[in-house]
Every structure is written in C-alpha cells, then in structure tokens.
Structure 1
C-alpha cells in the first residue's frame, strides 16, 4: 500500500491542471477524428506551496526525498473524495521568511505505484 501525503497546501499559491490525452487522426479535407487515449485519459498535475514551521517543512521534504520522485504516494486533491496516486519529481529547496518556511512542489498524477 502506498504512503499517504497528509499535509495541506496553502491555497493562495497553489494551482492544478487537468490534461485530457486525446488521439487524433487528421484527414485531408480538414476533418479530424478524436478519441480518448486509454482508460486513464484525464491526468492531473498540481503546483503546490506549503508555508509552515521548520519541523513541518522538514517533514514534507523528508517525505518527498523518501519517495525520490519515483515511488507513488496517495494524496487527496481539492474537491475530491478519495485519494489518488501522485509522484513528485520537482520541489524547491525550503526558504525562510521570519519564523515561517516555504516549500513548493509539483505533484503529477500516476496510475501505478
């Protein structure tokens, strides 16, 4: 069973994108035939930002390091009722602003652990 990412991002600097994978066949008369590409044709990606104390940001960084961008983890996106599988290959090094630390991460949906 995959680990679960339990921290909540700040909403002000976090965004999500849904991409629909589509196969297209272009014909000479300008007609294009389209169909969904596979059973998992909708893929989500999220740019997330976390602002918290040093201990929390360190725990987030340790979690992401432990999964090394290759091992999927469970995370529940906004407006979803069930957790989905994600990987995180890219995140920023933590920065400090007063007592708060900030880390940003890109979560990409995957369909296999």
Structure 2
C-alpha cells in the first residue's frame, strides 16, 4: 500500500502552525551557553488547521483521518514548505451552521517512514 496524500486545503483564518527546533544546550557558570542542533531532523512542525465546507467535504476529511487511525503517516504540503509526512491524532467533531460545517485538526510532522505504508 502506498502512502496517501491529504489534498484538502484548510482555511487560512483559524489555522496556525508551530516549528520546534531541538537544541542541545550546555549552560556554564559565567552566563555563557553553548548550543548545537540535536539530531538530523531537529526541526519539526505542528499545525492546527481549520476546514470549512459542506457535509460531503467534511465527511471525506474525517474518513481520510479515521482510516489512518492516528498511527499511519500521510503526505501533506504546508504553506511555503515542501511536502512532508504528517500524522493526525486529534481532530474536532464538526459543528454546523446552516449547510456549512467546520472542523479543526492537528497535524504533527513525523520522520518515521515505517508508519508510511
């Protein structure tokens, strides 16, 4: 089975992301600190995304995420970044306003290629 790609586009409003840079730090007594990147993949990203659409669109997004059960990675392309592997362990149940549904999802970057089948 090949790794699937998440193709739905989140809304810009209500979406945000964070970059985490892992650093090893040695603090010395005179106030001096020495820092170095920790590991090959010391930068990872996490995104809180908002999706708005009709029942068909939101149902398809939930089905895609449910099929991966939080453990299987998928490809997704963040803004201004290259396509990468992500997992989604958490998303909100949709809310409805007329015929429009809204949901949020948290995408966490992963480097574990074994979860990408």
Once the two structures are superposed, the pairs formed by residues 1-113 of structure 1 within 5 Å of their partners are 1-80=2-81, 82-112=82-112, 113=116
- 1:10-66, Cα deviation, whole Å (9 max, x unpaired): 111111111111011112222111100111111111110000000110010011111
Unpaired runs of at least 5, structure 2: none
List runs of 5+ in structure 1 lacking aligned partners: none
- Measured in 1, the distance between the counterparts of 2:28 and 2:44 equals 27
Q: Tell me the TM-score normalized by structure 2.
A: 0.91
**TM superposition outliers: structure 1 runs of 4+ over 4 Å:** none
Q: Distance in 2 between matches of 1:89 and 1:79?
A: 23
RMSD (Å), alpha carbons: 0.9
Q: Helix, strand or coil for the counterpart of 1:43?
A: strand
State the 1:106 CA deviation: 0.5
> Take 1:68 and 1:33, find their aligned partners in 2: how far apart are those partners?
41
